[in-house]
Amino acid sequence: MSSPASARRPTDVDLNVRIGTLLLSNPVIAASGTFGYGIEFSHLVDLNSLGGIVVKGLSAQPLAGAPAPRLCETTGGMLNAVGLQNIGVRAFVAEKLPALRKYRTAIIANVFGYTLAEYVEVIRVLEDAEGVAAYELNISCPNVDKGGSEFGVDPSLTSEVVTAARRAAAKRPLWVKLAPNADVRATARAAEAAGADALTVANTYPAMALDPTTGRSKLGRSTGGLSGPAIKPLTLRLVYDISRTVKIPVIGLGGIASLSDALEYFRAGATAIQVGTAHFADPRASERVVEELRHHCIELNINNINQLGGISN
Ligand SMILES: Cc1cc2nc3c(=O)[nH]c(=O)nc-3n(C[C@H](O)[C@H](O)[C@H](O)COP(=O)(O)O)c2cc1C
């Protein structure tokens, strides 16, 4: 006599995914700039439940950031002009990493600079530290040595910054986070050819919101970056195109707040996903997506996430 389907359901599910040489305990990662340095969330979230945490962007020197207001709600999304405020890479290593490295979760250092030398300096400092699993290069930054063109918009500048970072990052995988306001297939190819191990797709979209009466920006700066549900269909298409253009894994992020959002990204070609703006409404958003994913696999009666349609390892 055959047993009922519920009796055959797996009690646990292997959610491990591989991003190149890096094995993550599951494909859900907290996105840079939306989850602090991770440790601030430890009283609200079981950090060990996440596949990874990408910390706030780190620069060679501490940065005070942009004037207030830094956030503004828009229809279906959010604008931010945080100005990449951070404590600087050396303070991160001394003050945050010792607590972070006690967790099993992969800690990914988001790195940025305004010159090639600054990117290289941040990576060199991190290379000497323990507890970092990978680097994620934020290339949505103006290159002050090249008249302010963004590294991530011009494929030749993308190639230069990834080549320099690759040389400095001898020990660890290098992920490159693409700017969405670019010919992304060209920048994706440039990053892959220069040695990226994976691509994070994508950053926020340059955007603005004005007070209709005064004409003044609703942010402390004239423009900011758009994120949240409003960008999901746009970024989903970028993930779809890029995953068919390069051979390295693609990590998708843009407006993910639920299991179904994550599944859409897997179907489009992502190997892992990041949760960003959703943390502002629910600090447990990424942990919740991990749980939803686990239950989804159990419902489908599969015990390994790689059996789920769309996950491309
Ligand atoms: C307040 C805020 C700060 C951010 N800071 C960074 C950052 O330091 N480095 C980075 O690469 N991306 C940063 N991002 C971009 C996010 O990591 C993510 O790429 C983007 O918000 C799109 O995903 P989402 O729609 O899920 O938020 C920031 C986003 C927000 C909303």
Q: Which of 50, 25, 18, 6 is nearest to 300 (CA)?
A: 6
Q: Which residues of 52-66 are buried (b: 16+ CB within 10 A; e: fewer)?
A: bbbbbbbbbeebeeb
- Above 70 in pLDDT, residue 2? no
Cα 108–chain centre separation: 9
Q: Which fold has domain 5-307?
A: TIM Barrel (3.20.20)
pLDDT tens across 217-275, in order?
999 999 999 999 999 999 999 999 999 999 999 999 999 999 999 999 999 999 999 99
- For a pocket test of ligand 1, which of 141, 203, 235, 251 has the largest count of ligand atoms closer than 8 A to its C-beta? 203
Active site residues: 141
Cα 138 to averaged position of ligand 1 atoms, centre (Å): 10
- Above 60 in pLDDT, residue 172? yes
Ligand 1 residue neighbourhood (C-beta within 6 Å): 31-34, 56-57, 78, 80, 82, 84, 110, 138, 177, 203-204, 227-228, 231, 253-256, 276-277
- Please enumerate in sequence order all residues whose Cβ is within 8 A of that of 132, keeping only pairs 6 or more positions apart, or say none: 97, 107, 108, 109, 126, 172
Domain coordinates in residue numbering, the chain: 5-307
- For residues 15-19, give the mean pLDDT: 97
The protein residue whose alpha carbon is closest to atom 29 in ligand 1 is 33
Q: What is the mean pLDDT of the chain?
A: 94
Please report the sign of the dihedral spanned by the C-alpha atoms of residue 238, residue 244, residue 245, residue 247. positive
Cα 15 to averaged position of ligand 1 atoms, centre (Å): 25
Atom of ligand 1 nearest to the CA of 229: 25
- For a pocket test of ligand 1, which of 141, 227, 264 has the largest count of ligand atoms closer than 8 A to its C-beta? 227
- Above 50 in pLDDT, residue 1? no
Atom of ligand 1 nearest to the CA of 227: 25
* Structure confidence at residue 308 (pLDDT): 85
The protein residue whose alpha carbon is closest to atom 23 in ligand 1 is 254
15 contacts 26 by C-beta, under 8 angstroms: yes
Cα 6 to averaged position of ligand 1 atoms, centre (Å): 40
- For residues 114-133, give the mean pLDDT: 97
Locate all alpha helices (DSSP H) within 205-284, ordered by sequence: 232-243, 259-268, 278-281
* Structure confidence at residue 224 (pLDDT): 94
* Structure confidence at residue 257 (pLDDT): 98
**In the block, residue with structure tokens 């080549």:** 163
Q: Rounded to whole angstroms, what are the CA distances from 311 to 39, 125, 289, 295? A: 29, 34, 15, 16
CA atoms within 13 A on the CB side of 91: 12
Confidence band for 313, pLDDT divided at 50, 70 and 90: very low
On the question of a cis peptide bond just before residue 202, with omega within 30 degrees of 0, the verdict is: yes
Atom of ligand 1 nearest to the CA of 275: 26
Would you call 74 helix, strand, or coil by DSSP? Answer: strand
Please report the sign of the dihedral spanned by the C-alpha atoms of residue 244, residue 192, residue 111, residue 82. negative
pLDDT tens across 262-311, in order?
999 999 999 999 999 999 999 999 999 999 999 999 999 999 998 887 65
233 contacts 254 by C-beta, under 8 angstroms: no
- Please enumerate in sequence order all residues whose Cβ is within 8 A of that of 310, keeping only pairs 6 or more positions apart, or say none: 263, 266, 267, 268, 269
pLDDT tens across 25-69, in order?
999 999 999 999 999 999 999 999 999 999 999 999 999 988 999
- For residues 72-91, give the mean pLDDT: 95
- Above 50 in pLDDT, residue 92? yes
Would you call 186 helix, strand, or coil by DSSP? Answer: helix
Confidence band for 147, pLDDT divided at 50, 70 and 90: confident
* Structure confidence at residue 55 (pLDDT): 98
- Above 80 in pLDDT, residue 10? no
3-state helix, strand, coil in the chain (%, to 5): 35, 20, 45
